[in-house]
Chains A and B, each alone.
Chain A
């Protein structure tokens, strides 16, 4: 098997909680807590979980948009956490991010052409003509009419704006893209269009995706492997088919059963979770999920389960296995 493009080892991103007049650090929010996994070339790895589980923080820590507090991120076997700022700048050509909200992530004072060509001018010394040519090619690929290139973001619908964001992220032909909830703000009929576009571009440019989403239906469609996060911890990780057909962790089972059915006649067994996600500043002892877990046992309240391989390529952190 090919070497992984990206290897994440024991990554930790903690945010300090400061209190008192001296603003002393009294505790930490463990947004990403000791997470290890790798992403192979041309693969789509998805992270799912409820709001506040740390999935976006993890995505941003990998790109060093947020500084991790511990662990390693190996990109082509080099730890990017040790990169100097000039090395990091070069790395940005290869790694890009697509944001959730196409309304706030585009500068309203820049035209589409300016938005999409900006990364080219930042990273290369390139003539205006060359840049224009590349922008035209990119716009065509993402399905934006060329005659609209001089327009401004407010003149576009949500779906069209997300196409602009994608064009902007992909113009440098990156090797690795983190897509943070790219379709969550869009209507259903538009969601499918954007997902299709992402899959097409992946094929064309041989790209690797880290796809972050709370929508299990979207994830099912686009990913090769899925990781389920809860309170900063990875709970289960395996290939897409196994996670939907044979979820092992009670949290994954509950998440899947909460997805609304697609047919009113479908009889569905429901595991309704009680309560909310606990505050990550004050996580429960033992297994972080034990307070909401329908199968919690004695040991879950005190001993934290280890994240281990229970079947081939199927990792779970649960005392049941």
Chain B
């Protein structure tokens, strides 16, 4: 198996006032070597929680993984690892970048200090070697005047530069997997294009796999090879990117694609009616049933099974189970 990461049957629950609610349900994701894998969904769909559980960074309590496994490089089970073991993996073999580069960087330390921190922890380089490594990586992520920037504090840099620094810190130890949680959401389009290009380049140079989490289907179309669409904690559809954009199966995916605001002024704007259900009021059958234009009786009572509707293209919807429905 040459998958870098395999998530199987991942369930995440949240405890709230003595009751437990399910927020991520039965997520299965496999990320291949050097692949850019996208998870797309609205706020509250559980996409960030999935990424945090890979890093072992779920805020526990109230959140915890109740079931499932996350296997890294085939044989290492991340969910069974101790805090100490995870610390050795985080930042070295798996690293993560976040949406808001200002809050993710420490305002009291220079860029060099923050890069050195990771190197000191994970490598046994001498001080001058470390410094050289810092300069190299800062140059590699396209920051001009690397020597001066290293002495700067985060507030002296622009949003795009900060995100480049975040990427530099993440790539410093040449990780096998990079988790990118909405890396370009806070940036302008011109800077977003720069950062996405940089990430694609780095994936090739460093042979890294990337898990790209975003709410923007444009970012998915731009970068990813495979995509999972999440809704209310479930993966409702999973396929390669071309198949997803050209023959979407799940009514939610179809709605999302239709509501991408593009085309011209004279076209009618499409929007999915209603809103994502809250965790306390999760529908018992299909979680999308309350907003679905093709809803049937069975959708309200039973959760649809995940089914392969085309080669390598799965979908969780009763529409593709018609025989089953007819036979009761």
Chain B residues, Cβ within 8 Å of A218 = 261
> By the criterion CB–CB under 8 Å, are B265 and A192 in contact?
no
A-chain residues with CB within 8 Å of residue B275 when the two chains form the complex: 157, 159-160, 190
Q: Decide yes or no whether A214 CB sits under 8 A from chain B.
A: yes
User: Which chain B residues have a beta carbon within 8 Å of chain A's beta carbons?
Assistant: 42-43, 144, 158-161, 188-194, 196-197, 215-222, 224, 241-242, 245-246, 255-256, 259-265, 269-272, 275
How many angstroms from the CA of A23 to the CA of B276 in the assembled complex? 52
Are A188 and B261 neighbours in the complex by a CB distance under 8 Å? Answer: yes
Decide yes or no whether A272 CB sits under 8 A from chain B.
yes
Residue in B closest to A251 when the chains form the complex, CB atoms: B190
Among listed A84-92, A107-115, A257-265, interface-contacting one: A257-265
Whether A260 pairs with B256 at a CB distance below 8 angstroms is: no
Q: B260: nearest residue on chain A (CB-CB)?
A: A262
Q: Is A282 an interface residue (CB 8 A)?
A: no
Using A189-B272, A264-B241 as known contacts, say yes or no to A255 and B190 having CB atoms under 8 A apart: yes
**B42 contacts A188, CB within 8 Å?**
yes
A51 within 8 Å of B (CB atoms): yes
Inter-chain CA distance A254–B192, complex, in Å, is 12
Please state if B216 and A260 are interface contacts (CB–CB under 8 Å): yes
Which partner residue on chain B sits nearest A159 by CB separation?
A: B275
Asked whether, in the complex, the Cβ of A261 is within 8 Å of the Cβ of B161, the reply is no
Are B222 and A265 in contact, CB atoms less than 8 angstroms apart? no
Cβ of A223: which chain B residues have Cβ within 8 Å of it? Answer: 265
A273 and B43 contacting across the interface, CB-CB below 8 Å: no
Whether a CB of chain B sits under 8 angstroms from the CB of A276 is yes
Which residues 216-255 in A have Cβ within 8 Å of B in the complex? 216-218, 220-223, 240-241, 254-255
Q: For the complex, is A154 an interface residue (Cβ under 8 Å from B)?
A: no
Question: Once the chains bind, are A260 and B261 in contact (CB under 8 Å)?
Answer: no
Not counting A187-B215, A195-B261, a sample of 10 additional A-B residue pairs whose C-beta atoms are within 8 angstroms of each other reads A50-B189, A50-B190, A157-B275, A188-B42, A193-B271, A215-B189, A260-B218, A260-B221, A262-B221, A272-B193
The answer, among B188, B194, B255, B265, for a CB contact under 8 Å with A272, is B194
Flag if B269 contacts A192 (CB, 8 Å).
Answer: yes
- Ranked nearest first, the 9 interchain pairs of A and B with the lowest CB-CB distance are A260-B218, A192-B271, A258-B193, A50-B188, A193-B271, A187-B42, A258-B189, A189-B272, A264-B221
Q: Which of A157, A192, A272 contacts B197 (CB 8 A)?
A: A272
What total of chain A residues lie within 8 Å of the partner, measured CB to CB?
45
| Inter-subunit contact B242/A265 (CB<8 Å) | yes
15 contacts between A and B (CB under 8 A): A50-B191, A159-B275, A160-B275, A187-B215, A189-B271, A191-B271, A257-B193, A258-B189, A260-B192, A260-B218, A262-B221, A262-B262, A265-B242, A272-B197, A273-B190
Binary contact readout A45-71 vs B (1 if CB under 8 angstroms, 0 otherwise): 000001100000000000000000000
Q: How far is the CA of A259 from the CA of B43 in the complex (A)?
A: 22
Nearest A residue to B189 via CB reads A258
**A196: nearest chain-B partner, CB-CB:** B269
Q: Are B264 and A220 interface neighbours, CB within 8 A?
A: yes
| Interface flag for A295 (CB, 8 Å) | no
Q: What separation, in Å, do the CA atoms of A257 and B218 have in the docked complex?
A: 13
Verify B158–A276 contact, CB threshold 8 A. Answer: yes
Q: A188 contacts which of B190, B217, B222, B242 (Cβ < 8 Å)?
A: B217
Across the interface, which residues of B come within 8 angstroms of A157, CB to CB? Answer: 275
B221 pairs with A263, CB closer than 8 A: yes
Set of chain A residues within 8 Å of B220, measured between Cβ atoms? 264
Q: Which of B192, B193, B246 is the most central at the interface, judged by chain A CB atoms within 10 Å of its CB?
A: B193
Interface residues of A in 119-175 (CB under 8 A from B): 157-160
C-alpha gap A190/B245 in the complex (Å): 20
**Chain B residues within 8 Å of A241, by CB:** 264
CB distance from A314 to the nearest CB of B (A): 18
Q: Pick from A191, A254, A255, A264: contact of B261, CB below 8 A.
A: A191
Q: Chain A residue with minimal CB distance to B221?
A: A264
B158 to chain A: which residues have CB within 8 Å?
276-277
